[in-house]
Every structure is written in C-alpha cells, then in structure tokens.
Amino acid sequence: MHAHVRLAQANSEAATARSAVAAWAAASLARPAPVGRPARARAGLAPPPPPHDDATTTADTLRLKGNEAFASGDWEAAAALYASSLALSPTAPAAANHSAACLRCGDPTAALASADTALALRPDWAKAHARRAAALAACGDDVGAFLAWDVAVRCEPGEPGWATGRQAALGAAGAVRGWRVPGVGQSEEAGRLVPVVVVGGEGECA
C-alpha cells in the first residue's frame, strides 16, 4: 500500500510540474519580446515579410523630376536625375531618357551607352532603338544610325518620327554606301536586315 501511495504522490507531483511548465510557457509567450528578439521568432513563427521596398517608387519619382528638368532645358540636371533613378532601379525609360539628356549635353558616347542599356532591358522597344540611332549619328556612325532607325521603324511602323530619322540617316549613309530607299533597296536574311548597295542598278548584299 505504501508503494501505491508513493506512486500516486509522484504522479501528482509530475502533473503539477507539467502544469507549471505549461503556465510558464504561456506567460512567456504573452510577455513583450525583449529588444532584438521579435515575438514571432520567440513563438517559433517565421518572421514577417520585410516592408515594401520603395526604391522603385523613388526611382520613378527621380525619373519624373528628370522629365521636368529635360522639358525646361536643363539637360545636365535631367541627366543627373536619370542617372540617380537608374542607380536605384534600372528601367528602360530612365535609360532611354538618360541617353537623350546626355546627347543634349554633348556626350554621344554616354548617350550610346545608355541607349544600349535601355535595349538590354527592353530589346523590342522602338524608342530605345531610336535613342541608339541618334547617339550613333552623333558619334559619326551614319550606317549604324540608319540600321538602328530601321529597327525602330520595324518595331513601331506607325510612328512617323522613326521613318523621318531613318530617311535622314539614309541620306548621310547613302553618301558613303550608295544605299537605296528602305523597302526597295534592302533584303532579309535569317531575319536580319541586310543593307543592299546599289551597283549598276542591281542590288548586292554588302
């Protein structure tokens, strides 16, 4: 009998201890988390997602401010704002605008680099090809400018500005290469534009 009594007492003490541990755990989870230790982590839960990174919003704001500076004729300020936007969140519009601002500032090399960045981000964007064409023309590459304008026309056939730029580049490049008007003196090879040089009235692939 004494053994049974001792066993019952032991069981009772164990139950009491378990209840005390459970009560302590509940109270511990209810207390504010100490500094440097979030309550979710202490409760064994995954940490909450980080707050929304507003770098993109800030980049857009800088780009829009750059547009305002560009519209007012402050090319250097516009270029700086576009560069800051690109540093936060690279986008094709910011790169294309930076290209235009650099060109207005008289830096065609930087304009070409930014146009290439815009194309890397958005290869099928006509405006990016147009920016590259303008930069190439400023660098003295009339043939490259014509080809870039031609791609812009292909990407967005309904935009008259691209056709006008292509025609102007054709005049400059034609003095060197003797090209015909696009659509007449060009051919397609493996989906790529192949300039055609006019030789004795016949077309040959350059």
SS (H, E, C) 176-195: HHCECCCCCCEEEECCEEEE
- Is 167 inside a domain boundary? yes
The H-or-E segment that residue 198 falls in is: strand 192-199
pLDDT tens sequence across 90-133: 999 999 999 999 999 999 999 999 999 999 999 999 999 999 99
The percent of residues in the chain predicted with pLDDT above 90, rounded, is 51
pLDDT tens sequence across 176-199: 555 554 443 444 433 333 343 322
Please indicate, yes or no, whether residues 164 and 196 belong to a single structural domain of this protein. Answer: yes
Please indicate, yes or no, whether residues 200 and 166 belong to a single structural domain of this protein. Answer: yes
Residue that terminates a domain, selected from 112, 139, 166: 139
Please indicate, yes or no, whether residues 128 and 196 belong to a single structural domain of this protein. Answer: no
Range of the domain at 80: 56-139
- Which are the contacts of 56, defined by CB distance < 8 A and separation ≥ 6? 88, 89
- Is 22 inside a domain boundary? no
Is pTM, for the whole model, over 0.95? no
